[in-house]
Amino acid sequence: MAETVEYNGKSFDVDEDGFLLDFTQFTEEWLEIVMKEEGIAELNEEHRLVIDVLHDYYKKNGIAPMVRVLSKLTKFKLKHIYELFPSGPGKGACKMAGLPKPTGCV
Amino acid sequence: MQQGKLCNRIPVETKDKLKEILGDKGGIQYYKEMESLEVDVPALKDLLKRTLKSRLKTWLNSCMRCGLCADSCFLYIANDKDPKQVPSYKIQSTLGELVRRKGEVDTQFMMHCMDVAWAQCTCCNRCTMYCPMGIDTGVMFSYLRGILFSQGFVPWEMKIGSGMHRVYRAQMDITTEDWVDTCEWMEEETEEEWPGLKIPVDKENADIIYTVNAREAKHYPEDLADAAILFHLAGENWTVPSEGWEETSLAMFAGDWEAAKLQVKSVYSAIERLKPKRMVVTECGHAYRATVTEGPYWAGIKSGKPPVDSLHYVEWVAEALRTGKLKIDPAKRIKEPVTFQDSCNYIRNAGLADDARYIMSQIAEDFREMKPNREHNYCCGGGGGLNGIGRYRQERNIGLKVKRDQILETGAKLVISPCHNCWDALRDLEEVYKIGIRWSFLKPILIKMVVVPDHLKLSAE
């Protein structure tokens, strides 16, 4: 089930879909791994804001927020969130932020 | 009798319990606890006595072991014709054995049954079409899932999913307030391009009540906006309920019969409260099965029909195209080769293949059927909850090979998939096998090609 991903001397425990199993393992190296997968060339401040918001919400609630909440807290329109994370807020952004894979039909 | 803290016979009923089980990422502790979860044999015997009725007994006894079901199963084909993947073997060695032993089974046997019931059968019901005795193995596996759930032998994500339904009346953590807020947000996001577009909440006596899949509200709200745009263009008098809007049922996939009933009753209550003429359900296969095909029986409706006429989204689109409510601009039809993924739950099991073909004839110039197709098409590879269960990721990925080869044979690079589950399987198929395909629901495709009536055009145009 669990696998380990090595990158630049750091190792990460991931689930079968490549999501981080342990939120506390999140580092800049993790961001680099997922950026490549998601085809994001460079992280800007807006990417960082989305990631920070996801972190805060997850720490408080133990689950990823709905996109509506993400939009409210970042003030980004839905289209813009998709421009930042082409594979979508539910999958790409959560993965990058080190959140576990959302459960259910996702 | 020993039970785990997370893995036990008790359904998840509170937010705290949900948080606790979600905190066990990937279900590592959960599955560890399952290894020492004892079977409550008296309860199992009692359940069999109460629920194993003549239809299932007849099916179990009338199987001649002829093997005609073997080649009908995509998992048998994908696994190099492994005899252990023959549908009749799969059900006889699990449910059949459990019944023959009169419920005198142990933990190891139940875990084996779980692995077969969720990883080796997607309840696609294709084998039923080829059984000379008319045995419905998919239905029997659904029944087995119910038995396994009652004893706590259910995949981690399924336990969470059914818990979500119990707590939120949705497969995800969405409150009434969250849902209504998302509807309002989607109105705001579309108002510039579509002035006057509304997502009417709790409107009484509308022509259509529209119900969705919770993922649309939680992760993909553009789907709701797309639905609203098409209803707007078609001039429909429609509404969404503030409560009872979720038509999916992970509870059904989990075998949590009680939660499945609670969930579908919430939709039927919305219908009774708002008195719409008809219901339209979104582009989701299992939701249609749960709310339109099976739900009435769970809710104890004797007619076997939902409280109002209910249409899958493809039926609504086909009707709107036939009646001219939606008109396609012929110049904007899809020109490249395109194929269609038949969802088991409403094509094979509810007979909507003709509506899907009519839509394709209207929107595509080079439509290519998969082989086999329509009622005989194979499961996408991720049905019955399989897409969402991490424990069976390898088994799911092997199964995807059949769909991959069907698509490659058509030569099409675009797959129309009006089912969330199929859509996910296609996305994952591309991620795993990289065959260079794209996939889409109908809504975004239609929005690009329907004629906008003059009175709805932006004044600047």
Q: Which residues of B touch A78 (CB under 8 A)?
A: 189, 221-222, 225
Of A1, A15, A105, the CB nearest to B420: A105
Q: What is the mean pLDDT of residues A10-16?
A: 93
For residue A94, indicate whether it is catalytic: no
Q: Which residues of A touch B388 (CB under 8 A)?
A: 103-106
Contact A68 B182 (CB under 8 A): yes
How many C-beta atoms surround the C-beta of residue B434 within 10 A? 8
Report whether pLDDT(B115) > 90. Answer: yes
Please tell me if residue B433 touches chain A, with a CB cutoff of 8 Å: no
Contact B219 A16 (CB under 8 A): no
Contact A104 B388 (CB under 8 A): yes
Per-residue confidence band for A37, with pLDDT thresholds at 50, 70 and 90: confident
Return the beta strands (E) in A1-106 as ranges: 3-7, 10-14
Q: Which residues of A touch B420 (CB under 8 A)?
A: 105
Please tell me if residue B22 touches chain A, with a CB cutoff of 8 Å: yes
Extents of the domains making up chain A = 3-96
CA angle B268, B269, B275 (to 5 degrees): 85
Report the alpha-carbon distance of residue A85 to residue A97 in Å, rounded: 11
Report whether pLDDT(A62) > 60. Answer: yes
Contact B218 A67 (CB under 8 A): yes
Cα B433 from chain centroid (whole Å): 23
Contact A105 B248 (CB under 8 A): yes
Backbone conformation region of residue B337, classed left if phi is above 0, alpha if psi is from -120 to 50, else beta:
beta
For B158, nearest residue in chain A (alpha carbons)? A104
Q: Which residues of B touch A63 (CB under 8 A)?
A: 19, 22, 173
Report whether pLDDT(B360) > 60. Answer: yes
Collect all residues from A whose CB is shorter than 8 A from any CB in B.
1-2, 15-17, 21-22, 61-63, 66-69, 71, 77-79, 82, 88-91, 100-106
Contact A104 B182 (CB under 8 A): no
Q: What per-residue confidence (pLDDT) applies to A23? A: 87
Contact A104 B161 (CB under 8 A): yes
Q: List pLDDT tens digits, range B430-453.
A: 999 999 999 999 999 999 999 999
Q: What is the mean pLDDT of residues A52-61?
A: 94
Q: What per-residue confidence (pLDDT) applies to A88? A: 86
Please tell me if residue B159 touches chain A, with a CB cutoff of 8 Å: no
From the CA of A53, how many Å to the nearest CA of chain B? 15
Cβ(B99)–Cβ(B60) under 8 Å?
Answer: yes
Of A71, A82, A104, the CB nearest to B172: A104
Contact A68 B421 (CB under 8 A): no
Catalytic residue among A91, A103, A105, A106: A105
Contact B420 A89 (CB under 8 A): no
Please tell me if residue B29 touches chain A, with a CB cutoff of 8 Å: no
Question: ipTM of this predicted complex?
Answer: 0.94
For B188, nearest residue in chain A (alpha carbons)? A77
For A61, nearest residue in chain B (alpha carbons)? B19
Cβ(B180)–Cβ(B242) under 8 Å?
Answer: yes
Report whether pLDDT(B459) > 80. Answer: no
Please tell me if residue B170 touches chain A, with a CB cutoff of 8 Å: no
Report whether pLDDT(B1) > 90. Answer: no
User: Average pLDDT over chain B, rounded to whole?
Assistant: 97
CA A69, A73, A79, A85 torsion-angle sign: negative
Q: What per-residue confidence (pLDDT) applies to B460? A: 52
Contact A104 B214 (CB under 8 A): yes
Q: What is the mean pLDDT of residues B264-288?
A: 98
Domains of chain B in sequence order: 39-154 (1.10.1060), 169-323 (no CATH), 330-449 (3.40.50)
Q: Which residues of A touch B189 (CB under 8 A)?
A: 77-79
How many C-beta atoms surround the C-beta of residue A25 within 10 A? 16
Continuous H helices in A13-66: 28-38, 45-61
Q: What per-residue confidence (pLDDT) applies to A2? A: 72
From the CA of B188, how many Å to the nearest CA of chain A? 10
DSSP B306-354: -SSEEEEHHHHHHHHHHHTSS-B-GGGSB-S-EEE---IIIIITT--HH
Please tell me if residue B190 touches chain A, with a CB cutoff of 8 Å: no
Q: What is the mean pLDDT of residues B127-138?
A: 96
| pTM as predicted | 0.96
Q: What is the mean pLDDT of residues B233-254?
A: 98
Report whether pLDDT(B147) > 60. Answer: yes
Q: List pLDDT tens digits, range B277-295.
A: 999 999 999 999 999 999 9
Burial of B52 (0-12, 13-18, 19+ CB in 10 A): middle
Q: What per-residue confidence (pLDDT) applies to A1? A: 58
Report whether pLDDT(B170) > 60. Answer: yes
Tokens, residue B288: 């249609």
Quick one: A3-96 is in which CATH superfamily? DsrC protein, C-terminal domain (1.10.10.370)
Q: Which residues of B touch A101 (CB under 8 A)?
A: 390
